[in-house]
Amino acid sequence: MIVGTVGHIDHGKTALVRALTGTETDRLKEEKARGITIDLGFAYMPAGDCGVVGFIDVPGHQRLIRNMLAGATGIDLMLLVVAADDGVMPQTREHLAILDLLGISRGLVAITKADIATPDRIAGIRNQIDNLLLGSALQGSPILPVSAVTGEGVDELRQRIASLAPEIGSRPADRLFRLAVDRSFSIRGAGTVVTGTVLSGSVRPGDELMLSPRGQLVRLRGLHAQNRQAEEGRAGERCALNLAGIHHEAISRGDMILSPALHAPSTRIDARLKVLASERGPITQWMPVHLHHGAAELPARVVHLSDDPIPPGGEAFVQLVTERPIAAVSGDRFVIRDTSASRTVGGGVLIDLRAPARRRRTPARLARIAAQDCADDAAVLAALLRQPPNHLDPDAFARDRAIPPDRMARILRDHDPVLIDTPRGRLAISRGRVAALMATAQGALAEFHAAHPHFVGIGLERLRHRCDPLMPAPAFRALLLDPAMAGRVALDGAWVRLTSHELRLDPEAEALWQRIEPMLGGEARFRPPRVRDFAADLDRPEDEIRDLLRALSRMGRLHEIGRDRFFLRDTVGEMVEIVFVLEADGPQFAVAAFRDRVENGRKVAIEILDFFDRHGVTIRRGDLRRPNSHRRHLFPRDNHTEDKDFSGGESSPVGRPDFKSGRGCQTVPGGFDSHSLPPEIEEASS
């Protein structure tokens, strides 16, 4: 258990800690010379079977609130100190308000300097304290007169603190390790040492840890917990960590030492903010403040998520935009003060560490924030799966709430969502949502096939936007490939169809295609003949060749890169791979680099890259292009798949097809999909 002394300057906090523990917490030369506490002080007291109680002695001066806040986060029990000669003072009120904002709900009150006060004066101070605590978490707390000079009441206070230790108990250990650094120094023969309060989890010598938000890996050589050498540091303990792999000057107060899995600093955080009733006016939009979180202090701005300013005493959801990243966890407490650091404005709870910069005030977004404003991880997971966009990344969810892998696995087992593996990680979706999504997809496909019977399928992106535009494309594709959809929906590259829908060529057209196909492949696949060349070589009309190739393009066998220039689908997939190979030489590439790879002329290379630009596979900036990994899946290679049967059989129509009108193509079971549609129904690539 950690006890924090709070109260006005010169009310005897340090003397009281010395009387309780025998330790002088003022360690700085300036503190001893001026007789006031400037920085945090630490002491320890045996507590019988409950081990050791740690004390954090905080400064009481108004200008040193930042130092007080650096130690306040780790407090379990508040020891409010009020001097008998002064009574309740401004920092008494501010310290109490800060601890209330930080959620410290247990405490004791000590009336110090009782040896110089009359019984009537002590009774008057009691009344002041009762009025001060009215409506706060400390209302009804024991009030004990004490004197560090005569020892009056010190033993009773010590016993009270020791008796509360088992009631408060240890902090839950079902979280990953985090320690808020309040000091960093070097010891000869040991190296870098940091001290702080363990906010969650546990740690043992030899563990690999991360300095966050800097992002540097360190190793734990050894540790002291509650001022004793230990083999384990646990949540709620004051610990000193001896770190390897880093110099102490690289670590600052406010940094976090944490499990590497938790390292994901943030600069935009949605939060619930409570404004103190003593604040002078409402919180305005983009109001600059000093944000205190853990032992860190940094500039930030408060962004309203509602239309109205937050009045004094009010509470609302806000977005905190910080000047530099912070290492936080959902559920952490924070305090904000004005930019002059002269008063505390309010505080609250951090909710969503991945807050968006746009559309942050929509009803759906506010509902999602409200769903996360809960300490029960399982309840939050269930609520998020019910809220748009009805899916989440379970690994990011566990990271942002410091949930260990074994506990997260239990939560997922209990709620049994559908888990989808995507290139960007896993995605969890409720089973009810998946069933509804797939039913919508099948309905949309049936509608499309009825309206466009002569086209093999609908674009994957177009179908996704019809069904659920908030679903990431890789996850939507994975859902369509799920075995549960087998036999109902077929997916080939970026195009989707019902398995009951297929286009086939009649025998005469198929025979002509069998003569053309070899001329599009082989070593000359990057330099295929144009329509006029096929017409000359095969002694057939250009229009017939053109219509056939465009029909095959709709059927997914070819892509028309430029007018009358067709490439096999697998060849286009191979050229996409070449584009991403060029990325290894630099983020952008010129036409010449691509031309040399495909051993083609500059004009054809430009036509190919323009085609990729239109589909978003490449993004052009002047004369250079960069690959877009988000669209790489649009043109997969399929040279390892079996060729589809184009013989037509008994179900094929008799006679030559009219490819322009679609006559001669027939919908039959089986088949494959298309990668490109004619302009009249081609979807936007974005």
Beta bridge partners of 178: 200, 258
Residue 63 has pLDDT above 90, yes or no: no
Residue 124 has pLDDT above 60, yes or no: yes
- Using pLDDT thresholds of 50, 70 and 90, give the confidence band for residue 290: very high
Residue 353 has pLDDT above 90, yes or no: yes
CA distance 201 to 258: 9
69 and 162 together in one domain:
yes
CA distance 319 to 348: 12
Q: How far apart are the first and last CA of the chain?
A: 56
Residue 200 has pLDDT above 60, yes or no: yes
Determine the pLDDT at residue 579. Answer: 92
Instruction: Enumerate helices (H) and strands (E) in the chain, giving the number of each.
Output: 19, 34
CB distance 98 to 344 below 8 Å: yes
pLDDT (tens digit, 9 = 90+) per residue, 291-314?
A: 999 999 999 999 999 888 899 999
Q: What value does the CA radius of gyration of the chain take, rounded to a whole number of Å?
A: 35
pLDDT (tens digit, 9 = 90+) per residue, 495-545?
A: 788 888 877 777 888 889 899 989 998 888 898 989 999 889 889 998 998
In this structure, what token pair is assigned to residue 282? Answer: 């409402």
- Using pLDDT thresholds of 50, 70 and 90, give the confidence band for residue 1: confident
CA distance 45 to 436: 61
CATH of residue 153's domain is 3.40.50.300
Determine the pLDDT at residue 642. Answer: 35
pLDDT (tens digit, 9 = 90+) per residue, 161-183?
A: 988 887 776 677 789 999 999 88
- In percent, the amount of the chain with pLDDT more than 90 equals 45
CATH of residue 240's domain is 2.40.30.10
Strands (E), 226-314: 228-230, 233-234, 238-244, 256-258, 266-275, 287-293, 296-304
| Of 374, 363, 354, residue with least CA distance to 272 | 374
CA distance 216 to 654: 71
Which pTM value belongs to this model?
0.76
- Domain membership flag for residue 460: yes
215 and 160 together in one domain:
no
Question: What mean pLDDT do residues 538-565 have?
Answer: 86
In this structure, what token pair is assigned to residue 263? Answer: 């390292």
Determine the pLDDT at residue 494. Answer: 66
- Using pLDDT thresholds of 50, 70 and 90, give the confidence band for residue 209: very high
Highest mean pLDDT among 41-55, 486-500, 616-630: 616-630
Q: Which helix (H) or strand (E) holds 221?
A: strand 216-225
CA distance 547 to 534: 12
- Using pLDDT thresholds of 50, 70 and 90, give the confidence band for residue 330: very high
Residue 490 has pLDDT above 80, yes or no: yes
CATH of residue 541's domain is 1.10.10.10
277 and 236 together in one domain:
no
294 and 253 together in one domain:
no
Which amino acid would we find at residue 258?
L
Which of 208, 230, 262 finishes a domain?
Answer: 262
| Of 680, 569, 558, 563, residue with least CA distance to 610 | 563
In this structure, what token pair is assigned to residue 70? Answer: 């650096």
**Token pair 């746009």 is at which residue?**
358
In this structure, what token pair is assigned to residue 119? Answer: 């019984």
230 and 248 together in one domain:
yes
Determine the pLDDT at residue 174. Answer: 82
Structural domain containing residue 278 = 266-360
- In percent, the amount of the chain with pLDDT more than 70 equals 91
CB distance 199 to 212 below 8 Å: no
Which of 360, 382, 412 finishes a domain?
Answer: 360
105 and 75 together in one domain:
yes
604 and 632 together in one domain:
yes
Q: Are strands 107-112 and 143-145 parallel, antiparallel or unpaired?
A: parallel
Determine the pLDDT at residue 105. Answer: 84
Q: Which residues contact 597 (CB under 8 A, 6 or more apart)?
A: 578, 581, 582
pLDDT (tens digit, 9 = 90+) per residue, 261-287?
A: 999 999 999 999 999 998 989 999 999
- Using pLDDT thresholds of 50, 70 and 90, give the confidence band for residue 411: very high
Highest mean pLDDT among 349-353, 537-541, 564-568: 349-353
- Domain membership flag for residue 242: yes
- Domain membership flag for residue 676: no
Determine the pLDDT at residue 486. Answer: 66
CB distance 549 to 509 below 8 Å: no
Which of 331, 360, 389 finishes a domain?
Answer: 360
Residue 660 has pLDDT above 60, yes or no: no
Which amino acid would we find at residue 14?
T
- Domain membership flag for residue 681: no
Determine the pLDDT at residue 504. Answer: 73
Task: State how many domains the chain has.
Answer: 5
100 and 18 together in one domain:
yes
257 and 283 together in one domain:
no
Cis status of the peptide bond prior to 213, with omega within 30 of 0: yes
Residue 643 has pLDDT above 70, yes or no: no
Determine the pLDDT at residue 28. Answer: 77
Beta bridge partners of 618: 627
CA distance 540 to 560: 20
- Domain membership flag for residue 368: no
**Token pair 């770190």 is at which residue?**
243
380 and 256 together in one domain:
no
Question: What mean pLDDT do residues 49-78 have?
Answer: 81
- Domain membership flag for residue 173: no
CA distance 372 to 355: 12
- Domain membership flag for residue 674: no
Determine the 3-state secondary structure of 492 from DSSP.
Answer: strand
Beta bridge partners of 228: 225
408 and 350 together in one domain:
no
Q: Which helix (H) or strand (E) holds 83?
A: strand 77-83
379 and 456 together in one domain:
yes
CA distance 491 to 435: 18
- Using pLDDT thresholds of 50, 70 and 90, give the confidence band for residue 216: very high
- Domain membership flag for residue 527: yes
